[in-house]
Structure formats: structure tokens, C-alpha cells
Amino acid sequence: MSDQPLLEVKDLKVSFHTYAGQVQAVRGLSFSLSAGETLAVVGESGCGKSVSAKALMGLLSCPPCEIKPASQILYQGKNVLQFQEAEWSAFRGKECSMIFQDALAALNPTLAVGRQIEENLIVHHLASRSAARKKAVEMLALVGIPQPERRARQYPHQFSGGMRQRVMIAIALACDPKILIADEPTTALDVTIQAQIIDLIKALQGKLNTAVLLITHDLGVVADIAHRILVVYAGRIVEQGSRDEIFYSHRHPYTWSLLRSVPRLDLTQKEELVSIEGTPPDLIDPPAGCPFAGRCRWCMEICREEEPPEVQFSPGHSCRCWLHHPDAPDWQTPFQRGDGVLC
Ligand SMILES: Nc1ncnc2c1ncn2[C@@H]1O[C@H](COP(=O)(O)OP(=O)(O)OP(=O)(O)O)[C@@H](O)[C@H]1O
Ligand code: SF4
Ligand SMILES: [Mg+2]
């Protein structure tokens, strides 16, 4: 893994103009991604995961969407938000690829899957037709599709859900992109197939040194693959850290609640699964203070009034919660408190 970030997202703010008002879907997201790294973005439905991913790929329609002017998405130092359409076309698929939850909807139903891989290579001028045909079969074999030569001639509906997801990964990785964005790649699959797809992404990432941005609502999915985790709530990062920091020394009540809501194979003492009560705030009129205040059992007066500052616990591990302020009352919590440095 390289220390030099491949991608740097700085203060990304995305809104949608609707009849009801301006939906502030992403409210100041900043993070970086290095070559060979797997960064997981985890949060409940509607917290801005897909909108952020689409912003990275230039897939948002503006209007109704608006990316605020101070936002920056630097790919190898260049702000992709200033790309013209031709630059986006060169970037998508070749530098950065994306796989989606619903492979059937994402694949072209009228083209054989091998042909879909070939087209990707040809569009980016990376191979002749005959070389692309050979590479398509190699890619299908790489993602574990048996009898790849025969399967290359088949259409998406002739594949099972898990196999279709493998095909999508083959298409996404055919041009050897430096970044793979996987938006809920396993949500539609059953648990065993889910684990196989995650193992496949992990193996390919190790082999090809691709940086992976893995988006999911389920912390359980990323336990075995993520190097770092961003916990996102209501369009903001509320905690970030290494995989071990998030799983074993998390500091934010929302991270703790998320962890309690997923099955954990690594725990010896089995705890009862608990869903998070309440709903996220309205993003048309987000609260002035902590966005989690309405659902947090440790909520204090200040939480409703002022947004908590970022508190750093170690390089790379930080969270936004008033419980870590030196003046916070001495609550007993099931996660660690205090000793942070206010940023
Ligand atoms: N085209 C749109 N018009 C208005 N609001 C939108 C639009 N697209 C997304 N949003 C809003 O932006 C917010 C973030 O949506 P996003 O799709 O990023 O959520 P998500 O975190 O990916 O959720 P999920 O886990 O359900 O996929 C949501 O409140 C959503 O309603
Ligand atoms: S800032 Fe307050 S409301 Fe928000 S998570 Fe921390 S304790 Fe809970
Ligand atoms: Mg989504």
C-alpha cells in the first residue's frame, strides 16, 4: 500500500434541489484513498454513500443536483470536478470503475457478457478486437467463472446472481483501473455468495493492487476486507479509523449502535442483535447540533445546540462527539471515552 493518496476528497458537499427544498445529501465529506487500500464507507440508508460515489464517477445530473463550489475530488492531484465530458469518458472504466448492487440492471441484456468486456477495452483503445476477445475470456476465468470461453458467449440472464456480480467485476477490472468503487456489491445476494464475492474482491485487490472503495450499510460485510472504515451519518463522517479501531475501540455512539445491529462471528460472547431506534434527520433541514442527537441515549444539551468538533485519538482515528470533550459529564458507556485531542 502506498502512502501517497491516489484520491483525495476534500469538503465534498452535494445537494438536490427538490420542490420540498434543498436536500443536503453530502455535507462536507473529506477522505483519501491510497493504491492497494480498501476503504469502507458504512452507514444507514440515505446517509449519502451512493451520491458520494456517483460524484466521484461524474454520474450525477446537475441540475437537479448541485456540487458546492468549494468541493474538490483530486485524482492524482487533478480535480475531476473540473473535467469536461471527454475527460470523464477517459477516466471512467480506465482509471476508476464502479460495480453496483443490481448487476442485472447494470449489465446490457442484449450483449453477450464477453462482448461487454471487449467493448470496455476497445472504447479505451487498450486492445484490438481479437486481443480484447482473448482478454475477455481471461477476465472471466480470473473472476472464477467456470468454462469461460463458453460463458463469454452467453447473456446476463443466463447467469445466477452471484455469477452476474462476478461478470460485473470482470468488466470493471478489464481495463486495469486504479480505483474500484463497489456500491453495495453483495446486498442482493445470499450470505454464502456474499462471502464469496467479498473474498474475490479481496483476492483481486491484492493481486492487481487496485484501491477499493467499498460502500455498504452492513459493517459485518467489511470486517474481513477493509483496511480503514469511514462511518457516515446524515451526510457527514462521524467516525473514521482502521478496521481494528472501528471494531474494537470505537468512540462514537452511532458506530457502537451500528456494530450492535450486525451479526459478529468474531465475538465469543454472543450479544443480542439490536436495531437502531428512530430515524435519521431530515436532510432538507438538518439539525444545528449533532445529527445523531435525536437517537442517542447519551445526548446532552450542547449536542442539540452545537455540532461536535472532531476529536483525534491516534493518527487516522477520529470522531465527532461531545462525549469526548474534557468538560463532558462522567457517563458510563460501553465504548471508550475521553483522552482525545480536539482538532
Ligand atoms: N435525485 C435525487 N433527488 C433528491 N434527493 C436525492 C436524490 N438522490 C438522492 N437523494 C437523497 O440524497 C440522500 C442520500 O442518498 P444516497 O442514495 O446517497 O443514500 P445511500 O447512503 O446510498 O442509501 P442506501 O443505503 O439506501 O443506498 C438521501 O436522503 C436521498 O433521498
Ligand atoms: S454528540 Fe451528543 S448526541 Fe451526538 S453522538 Fe455524541 S453524545 Fe450523542
Ligand atoms: Mg446507495
The string of pLDDT tens digits covering residues 92-106 is 888 999 998 887 788
Q: How far is the CA of 62 from the centre of ligand 2 (A)?
A: 34
Number of domains in the chain: 1
**Residue 35 pLDDT greater than 70, yes or no:** yes
Q: How far is the CA of 118 from the centre of ligand 3 (A)?
A: 28
**Residue 204 pLDDT greater than 90, yes or no:** no
pLDDT band for position 224 (cuts 50, 70, 90): confident
Q: Does residue 322 fall inside a structural domain? A: yes
Q: Does residue 249 fall inside a structural domain? A: yes
Q: Does residue 77 fall inside a structural domain? A: no
Instruction: Map grid coordinates 467499498 to a residue.
Output: 214
The mean per-residue pLDDT over the stretch 226-240 comes to 96
User: Which ligand 2 atom sits closest to the C-alpha of 252?
Assistant: 5
Q: Does residue 62 fall inside a structural domain? A: no
pLDDT band for position 11 (cuts 50, 70, 90): very high
- For 282-338, the pLDDT digits (tens) are 999 999 999 999 999 999 999 999 999 999 999 999 999 999 988 888 878 888 877
Predicted confidence at residue 55, as pLDDT, reads 94
| 298 ligand 2 Cβ < 6 A | yes
Q: Does residue 42 fall inside a structural domain? A: no
Closest CA to 251 of 277, 227, 214, 259: 259
Predicted confidence at residue 49, as pLDDT, reads 93
**Residue 137 pLDDT greater than 90, yes or no:** yes
Q: How far is the CA of 276 from the centre of ligand 2 (A)?
A: 14
The mean per-residue pLDDT over the stretch 31-55 comes to 94
CB 96 within 8 A of CB 57: yes
Instruction: Map grid coordinates 456480480 to a residue.
Output: 165
d(CA 142, CA 127): 18
| 233 ligand 2 Cβ < 6 A | no
Q: Does residue 240 fall inside a structural domain? A: yes
Long-range contacts of 255-259 (CB under 8 A, 24+ apart): 255/231, 255/319, 255/335, 256/333, 256/334, 256/335, 257/295, 258/42, 258/43, 258/44, 258/219, 258/231, 259/219
Predicted confidence at residue 327, as pLDDT, reads 83
Predicted confidence at residue 175, as pLDDT, reads 87
The mean per-residue pLDDT over the stretch 203-222 comes to 89
Predicted confidence at residue 272, as pLDDT, reads 61
- Pull the grid cell for residue 187: 446486498
Mean pLDDT (the chain, rounded)? 89
Q: Does residue 316 fall inside a structural domain? A: yes
Query: What phi and psi values does residue 250 have, to the nearest 5 degrees?
Result: -65, 155
Predicted confidence at residue 207, as pLDDT, reads 85
The mean per-residue pLDDT over the stretch 193-216 comes to 89
CB 49 within 8 A of CB 215: yes
CA distances, 307 to each of 277, 293, 319 (Å) = 21, 10, 12
The answer to pTM > 0.85 is: yes
Predicted confidence at residue 304, as pLDDT, reads 95
Predicted confidence at residue 264, as pLDDT, reads 58
Predicted confidence at residue 82, as pLDDT, reads 92
User: Quick check: helix, strand or coil at residue 220?
Assistant: helix
Q: Domain range for residue 272?
A: 233-342
Q: Where is 266: in which H helix or E strand? A: none
The mean per-residue pLDDT over the stretch 60-75 comes to 92
Q: Does residue 311 fall inside a structural domain? A: yes
pLDDT band for position 203 (cuts 50, 70, 90): confident
Nearest residue by C-alpha to atom 10 in ligand 1 = 25
